[in-house]
Amino acid sequence: MPYSHPPDPDIPVAGGGLLDRRLFLRHSLGTGLALAGFEAMADAEPPPWMKTPGASFTNYGHPSPFEKDAIRWISANPGAPGNGISWTPLHKLEGIVTPNGLHFERHHNGVPRIDPDQHRLLIHGLVKNPLSFGVDDLLRYPLVSRLCFVECGGNSNAGWHAEPIQTPAGYFHGLASCSEWTGVPLATLLNETGLLPQARWLIAEGADADALNMSIPVEKALDDALVALYQNGERLRPENGYPMRIILPGWEAVLNVKWLRRLQAAQEPAMARNETAQYTEPQPSGIARQFSFIMEAKSFITHPSPGHRLRGPGLYQISGLAWSGRGKIKRVEVSADGGKSWAEAALQEPVLAQCFTRFRLPWRWNGQPLVLKSRAVDETGYVQPERSVLIDARGHNGYFHYNAIVAWAVAADGSLSHVYA
């Protein structure tokens, strides 16, 4: 647990009322709980749901009907409803695991309904021994599990807009989700087929109606790539690649090809639509970045965030998510004065490489307007940049790979909004 050895909670460690990360609240929240107070529930009439037998058992469960706002937010092409995205509501979630029903989606031509008994993965091209694998074949191989994030290269791209977008945080940064993926190391399968010396790329193809294809460097395929069959313990969800997909820890999601049917070893990349016309970034020089695979360190505050409302001055816990495609998160700092001063947040265990990391910090709000920010530092020493620094380097037309520091303005009435500050 991140809280222990409480220092004096009345001494802020940074501006805006930020308190020490080791502070475990050992005194009343005061105003906040005065609203609650004491009710004679001990003698009160029991609630209606205690007076009638409850619902019986279910083979597969679903969320409470009272949580119908905790859903993926969909943005699809009206003319091609299978082409679009849906965001994970990270502003509604806690911890680091994304439940499978809320994992973000990006489809180019919808979710195919694949019969796993008829689906096969072919590995061919510049290989010594082309092979095809069914699900049962893959399950013969050693499986490994990996808790890691998958993030769309276009996540957070509203940050490039001239005006700060006003949406809940999850519908701004929620093209990222985190699951425990279990599958066969791609290196194991490539050892079966063998690779010819001139093979530099693997061209992956999905079994969707878009036949989405992407080029993966052989080095990454031999390093930590998985052909995943399970997501958070159960088989992959259809929208996440059932029955098999590639997982490339820390790399942009479009390369984590879903519904994987083919890996063609080649000397050159395919120069496919999604690595030329899309998922490349025009820069101020006029030259576009291509093959920008790695998702750099990012963080943002999920609680409180736009759409939430503070219930008046007093103690709160600031909570958020940080991650880096380059390894573990080393440190997250939080500012409550727009970046003038910073306090180090507590990182919730486990802290894993290429995985969501939950950070938390106690905060005493004095009721005045101020600006909250978070800043992630990963184990390579990379520091999440301020927006102005990212814009200077990449211009306003980057579209992909936006990872600047995020600022939430807190108003005197306790409401929050997204600002560029």
Q: Print burial letters for 283-306: b (CB count within 10 Å at least 16), e (below 16).
A: eeeeeeeeebbebbbbbbbbbbbb
List 53, 79, 197, 286, residue binding its own copies (CB under 8 A): 53
Residue 348 contacts its own copies per CB under 8 A: yes
Residues 6+ apart with CB under 8 A from 102: 70, 71, 72, 88, 89, 93, 177
Residue 74 contacts its own copies per CB under 8 A: yes
Residue 100 contacts its own copies per CB under 8 A: yes
Residue 149 contacts its own copies per CB under 8 A: no
Quote the tokens at residue 138: 């893959």
Residue 46 contacts its own copies per CB under 8 A: yes
Are 124 and 130 in contact by the 8 Å Cβ rule? The answer is yes
List 10, 11, 41, 198, residue binding its own copies (CB under 8 A): 41
Comparison of 92 and 394: residue with beta carbon closer to its own copies: 92
Are 108 and 84 in contact by the 8 Å Cβ rule? The answer is no
Which parts of 308-347 interact with its own copies (CB under 8 A)?
311, 314-317, 319
Comparison of 71 and 383: residue with beta carbon closer to its own copies: 71
Length of the chain: 421
Distance CA(90)–CA(302), nearest Å, equals 7
Quote the tokens at residue 66: 């009272």
List 229, 248, 295, 416, residue binding its own copies (CB under 8 A): 229
Which stretch in 18-26, 153-161, 323-331, 389-397 sits in contact with its own copies by CB under 8 A? 18-26
Half-sphere exposure of 403 toward its Cβ, with a 13 Å CA cutoff?
26
Distance CA(142)–CA(229), nearest Å, equals 12
Residue 266 contacts its own copies per CB under 8 A: no
Q: Spell out, one character per residue from 354 to 393, where the chain touches its own copies: x when CB under 8 A holds, - when not.
A: ----x-x-x-------------------------------
Quote the tokens at residue 323: 């991650």
Residue 292, amino acid: S
Residue 406 Cβ, how far from its own copies at the closest point, in Å?
A: 20
Of 380, 336, 354, nearest to 96 (Cα)? 354
Chain centroid offset of residue 94 CA: 12
Q: Phi-psi category of 335—alpha, beta or left, where left has phi over 0 and alpha has psi -120 to 50? A: beta
List 3, 382, 399, 420, residue binding its own copies (CB under 8 A): 3
Chain centroid offset of residue 246 CA: 17
List 144, 222, 383, 419, residue binding its own copies (CB under 8 A): 144
Comparison of 249 and 325: residue with beta carbon closer to its own copies: 249
Are 420 and 316 in contact by the 8 Å Cβ rule? The answer is no
Which stretch in 104-112, 148-156, 273-281, 365-373 sits in contact with its own copies by CB under 8 A? 104-112
Residue 365 Cβ, how far from its own copies at the closest point, in Å?
A: 11
List 14, 18, 111, 221, residue binding its own copies (CB under 8 A): 111
Residue 4 contacts its own copies per CB under 8 A: no
Which stretch in 96-104, 157-165, 272-280, 377-385 sits in contact with its own copies by CB under 8 A? 96-104
Quote the tokens at residue 132: 């095809």
Which parts of 119-138 interact with its own copies (CB under 8 A)?
119-120, 122, 124, 129-134, 136-137
Residue 5 contacts its own copies per CB under 8 A: no
Peptide bond into 350 cis (omega under 30): yes
Which helix (H) or strand (E) segment holds residue 137: the answer is helix 135-138
